Structure 1
Amino acid sequence: MLSYARQTLKRVPSFQELLQGTMASAKEEISVDVLVIGAGPTGLGAAKRLHQLDGPSWLIVDSNEIPGGLASTDATPEGFLYDVGGHVIFSHYKYFDDCIDEALPNDDDWFTHQRISYVRCKGNWVPYPFQNNISMLDKDDQAKCIDGMIDAAMESRVSQAKPKDFDEWIVRAMGTGIADLFMRPYNFKVWAVPTTKMQCAWLGERVANPDLKKVINNVINNKTAGNWGPNATFRFPARDGTGGIWIAVAKTLPSSKTRFGEHGTVDKVDADGKRVIMKDGTVINYKKLVSTMAVDSLVEKMGNKELVDLSKGLFYSSTHVIGVGIRGERPERIGDKCWLYFPEDDCPFYRATIFSNYSPYNSPQKDEKLPTLQLANGSKPSSSEPKEGPYWSIMLEVSESSMKPVDEKNMLRDSIQGLVNTEMMKPEDEVVCTYHRRYDHGYPTPSLEREGVLTKLLPALLDKGIWSRGRFGSWRYEVGNQDHSFMLGVEAVDNIVNGAVELTLNYPDFVNSRRNEERRLEDGAQLFAKANKSVD
């Protein structure tokens, strides 16, 4: 039996042999100075900068027909819009602001909102950030949280050692009361890994450190803390969702330098030969490559076993986006809420966004007639006859990983029940639209192993002339917002063309800090002016 098996085994062709076979059937050959893979914010940032510099020849490719990547928007047949998760526009860069304002220049292209966010905890709505507003909790929970904060403050006076993981950082900064009530369960629902398996270098401005004196003062006086963080005020496009921004940015680029859809799909990357083989057989020769695809996917397409093995040390979670469209006036209990956090297990989602509050065009207009699919309690409606609105909508996010499996088959049902459990919907509310889409790469996890991998993987790619950048290209969540991602592409091009330092990639704490505010206004304006001058 063994000898028979040996005789019938076929030799698996090598990557180079596969590559040569593809080359033999190539339809077209193109040569550019800089090739950009991916038309999400990072790829479009790179392309925008290349277009402004008007120097190196370039091309941008993407397998999707419509640009936007993980910042795109889907439209349902009923006319509801849903983003790829919760996206809003707030910026650390003047250059980014100028580019998107050039793409969407009119006042009526945007809405500006004050963030109104809460955490659902034991039937209470606690204003965000939770740790600054424990005055809204029951007395017993207030006492537990304050006890923990006092212990943490006393411990910080005697311990100078850096926390070894995110969990230890939480306990040191906020105490065990807040850790157990909110931070640990919520972060597990978001990241789909325990906080003990995450590092804490990524935090920066993303998690508020509570001021013990102010917290106690607010508890005594039954007050809440004001808005905190860079997204306390944010913008949202009036039409076409977040994806509309990136469609508009792409339109500022010459169509002759874009290949989207079937003709923009990468099959293999020959890093040694500096060429990319497309699915349609086209060969694109390049001198420098800016890749925004997930770095683990990139090294697979390179066929580099050493880098593939290295990339396996990176961890990520998948994201399910659930949309629910509802008939009726927006309830008073919902009001002007923006997004809401859910640490408890009475719902599968960790975040809910009242997406219809961002723009009236995110849901159908009132005179649109739609049938009722079901009631929120799962029962059938008394009539399926289409009726007019008004309508409002909720967008939910659920994480998944090997450490946090999900019931995907029943996720939509369980999510709607979770909305009822948390009093977001009433059992009798009419559901007129449902939406569910899974994104395999949702969150790049700042795991304990991350830096050990990235400090080897990214330089190894750079040695081959590949700038791997973006949310999953450089795998740094702390610079993974839309403005960060866009600037990762811009700065990669500036590094390629003139050797400029990539601040966003290499100094995330600086670009996210208040110290950056004055610099961003001056440097961003100068950079944009120089770019326009070079184009003229």
Structure 2
Amino acid sequence: MAGIGADHKAHKRQISKANGQEIDIDVLVIGAGPTGLGAAKRLNQLDGPSWMIIDTTDIPGGLASTDVTPEGFLYDVGGHVIFSHYQYFDDCINEALPNESDWYTHQRISYVRYKDLWVPYPFQNNISMLPKEDQVKCLEGMIDATVEARVANTKPKDFDEWIMRNVGEGIADIFMRPYNFKVWAVPTTKMQCQWLGERVAAPNLKLVTKNVVLNKTAGNWGPNATFRFPAHGGTGNIWIKVAETLPKKNTRFGDHGRVQLIDAENKRVLLGDGTIVNYEKLISTMAVDSLVEAMRNEELTKLSKGLYYSTTHVIGVGIRGARPERIGDKCWLYFPEDNCPFYRATIFSNYSPNNQPAASKKLATMQLADGSKPESDEEKEGPYWSIMLEVSESSMKPVNGETMVPDNIRGLINTQLLQPEDEIVSVYHRRFDHGYPTPSLEREGVLTQLLPKLQDMDIYSRGRFGSWRYEVGNQDHSFMLGVEAADAIVNGAAELTLNYPDFVNGRVNKERRLVDGAQFFKSMKGVRNEEMPLRPKESA
């Protein structure tokens, strides 16, 4: 087994025994979100290494988990849907949820709310739906951008310049700048553009002009135009079921899986119940800034201060009544304007009928949407439907946590998702400190130092916040970051998802599906990790 020593008991231990229990393991995995579970899944398939996965929570899932309110409404930790770039990922989740009845498949129905209009997503491809004066402004900007792009001999220096070169000033001012500030909680001038890949649609000027003249809309775009969602238990149920495919003897969840201290020099981890785990290799899916703090490493902690993130607030509103016609089959919706705090709303009840209580369940009305009290506090039957909202927060975009729920309900009325007389039977609010890993201008300078320094210590920091790359931060990416880290440790295989985001995402906005997992790992076995750059080559 490549890279794993025969005996690590000879190391001098810096963590003293707390309760007398020590565990020796080849590979320790910290975190039972998609990345940690991907690593554990792959380690369980391989012969040789002993391994263990730990997590501070009792229920696996991490940032892909699902909460249930006392009333019976389900809310994911933000907007998650299943679409995939990897056959291996598909095979694993299909093993966990193998029946056709375990899933719903949806065609994405997504809009941008602008000037009381529902503009089909992506906005930049559907300016034919805008008022005439806005159409003119957008087209003029796109023409200027096309001319500028032809003569430009340098790459955009930041996300804002990328926007100007791709869509022009009109779309930048109307949608791209205000929307992205609401999402990232930093201006577009403070973000780099390497992360974009398939996440932002670059418009076709000829097609957009044709659609404006003919008053037509563009078709679906992007890898999530079709997506799956679990029938029961929300997104979190996927990861609960994946965890159930692992041997229980290799898992420690809850307080006895909580990391107190990491002694990287002597390869020891002190857990919440006092147990000491001695490891040879560590796959950490903790946020990397939290990881280096747990290591008590002043140099790396100082270095990690150059990484930025935004906080995410998830707000859920459960409503009594049949789903209104104005809501229809909408999936998720974008909000660039300042008449609401949220940047995205998901009609979560549309993903599965089991995301809300049965119609027969009796619930009292908490309030009407306009804030007034109901005429009666009597419990009544449904049916019910629900909306999930996301709000970002940073030092550049502070929010008032105490008024978060009423502010967002007011925003729902302003955007006509709710009517003032709608009966609200449930509210939910949860704050996630690490919500989005910001692709800041400083990011690559930090990661190209931080991740190799950790790997020199036999620590593979991977995952949405472990490797801090939003462009490979979806559930399928995150899972494969763990899978590939495990295979790199045991077989010395290349970590494609970490090192080549453009390759795994496909070029020209085309979804790329890798070959069968076994063939993939066999084909990559001869390519060593040291042959792979930490970041994509400029020509990639």
Same fold (TM over 0.5): yes
Structure 1 residues 156-214: Cα deviation after superposition (integer angstroms, max 9, x where no partner): 11112100000000010000000000000000000000000000000000000000000
Q: Distance in 2 between matches of 1:411 and 1:192?
A: 16
**Aligned runs of 1:315-334 on 2, under 5 Å?**
315-334=308-327
**Aligned runs of 1:15-30 on 2, under 5 Å?**
23-30=16-23
Confirm whether residue 88 of structure 1 aligns to residue 81 of structure 2: yes
Structure 1 residues 237-264: Cα deviation after superposition (integer angstroms, max 9, x where no partner): 0000000000000000000000000110
Q: Could you tell me which residue of structure 1 aligns to residue 340 of structure 2?
A: 347
Confirm whether residue 209 of structure 1 aligns to residue 202 of structure 2: yes
Confirm whether residue 181 of structure 1 aligns to residue 158 of structure 2: no
Structure 1 residues 111-147: Cα deviation after superposition (integer angstroms, max 9, x where no partner): 0000000000111110000000000000000000000
Amino acid at match of 1:127: P
SS, match of residue 26 in structure 2: strand
What CA RMSD, in Å, does the superposition of the two structures yield over aligned residues? 1.6
Instruction: Tell me the CA shift for residue 519 of structure 1.
Output: 7.3
SS, match of residue 23 in structure 1: coil
- Structure 1: stretches of 5+ with no match in the other structure: 1-18, 531-536
Q: Could you tell me which residue of structure 2 aligns to residue 194 of structure 1?
A: 187
Q: Could you tell me which residue of structure 1 aligns to residue 384 of structure 2?
A: 391
TM-score (norm 1): 0.94
Q: Distance in 1 between matches of 2:25 and 2:512?
A: 34
Q: Could you tell me which residue of structure 2 aligns to residue 158 of structure 1?
A: 151
8 A contact 2:96–2:241 mirrored in 1: yes
Q: Could you tell me which residue of structure 2 aligns to residue 16 of structure 1?
A: none
Instruction: Tell me the CA shift for residue 370 of structure 1.
Output: 0.3
8 A contact 2:484–2:496 mirrored in 1: yes
User: Which of 403, 411, 422 is matched with 2:404 structurally?
Assistant: 411
8 A contact 1:22–1:281 mirrored in 2: no
Tell me the percent identity: 75
**Aligned runs of 1:102-141 on 2, under 5 Å?**
102-141=95-134
Q: Distance in 1 between matches of 2:13 and 2:279?
A: 18
Q: Distance in 2 between matches of 1:294 and 1:254?
A: 26
8 A contact 1:112–1:236 mirrored in 2: yes
Confirm whether residue 374 of structure 1 aligns to residue 367 of structure 2: yes
Extract structure 1 runs of 4+ deviating beyond 4 A. 19-22, 514-519, 527-530
8 A contact 2:33–2:62 mirrored in 1: yes
Q: Distance in 1 between matches of 2:14 and 2:216?
A: 70
Q: Could you tell me which residue of structure 1 aligns to residue 68 of structure 2?
A: 75
TM-score (norm 2): 0.93
Q: Could you tell me which residue of structure 2 aligns to residue 10 of structure 1?
A: none
Could you say if the C-alpha distance between residues 46 and 20 of structure 1 is closer, same or farther in structure 2, counting changes exceeding 3 Å? closer
Q: Distance in 2 between matches of 1:295 and 1:486?
A: 17
How many matched pairs? 512
Instruction: Tell me the CA shift for residue 23 of structure 1.
Output: 1.5
Structure 1 residues 450-497: Cα deviation after superposition (integer angstroms, max 9, x where no partner): 000000000000000000000000000000000000000000001000
Q: Distance in 2 between matches of 1:425 and 1:38?
A: 38
Instruction: Tell me the CA shift for residue 291 of structure 1.
Output: 0.1
Q: Could you tell me which residue of structure 2 aligns to residue 268 of structure 1?
A: 261
Q: Distance in 1 between matches of 2:509 and 2:175?
A: 31
Instruction: Tell me the CA shift for residue 227 of structure 1.
Output: 0.2
Q: Distance in 1 between matches of 2:404 and 2:20?
A: 44
Instruction: Tell me the CA shift for residue 526 of structure 1.
Output: 2.7
User: Which of 502, 505, 508 is matched with 1:512 structurally?
Assistant: 505
Q: Could you tell me which residue of structure 2 aligns to residue 51 of structure 1?
A: 44
**Aligned runs of 1:456-535 on 2, under 5 Å?**
456-514=449-507, 520-524=513-517, 526-527=519-520
Q: Could you tell me which residue of structure 2 aligns to residue 7 of structure 1?
A: none
Amino acid at match of 1:162: K
8 A contact 1:317–1:401 mirrored in 2: yes
Instruction: Tell me the CA shift for residue 55 of structure 1.
Output: 2.0
Q: Could you tell me which residue of structure 2 aligns to residue 314 of structure 1?
A: 307
The structure with the largest helix share of the pair is 1
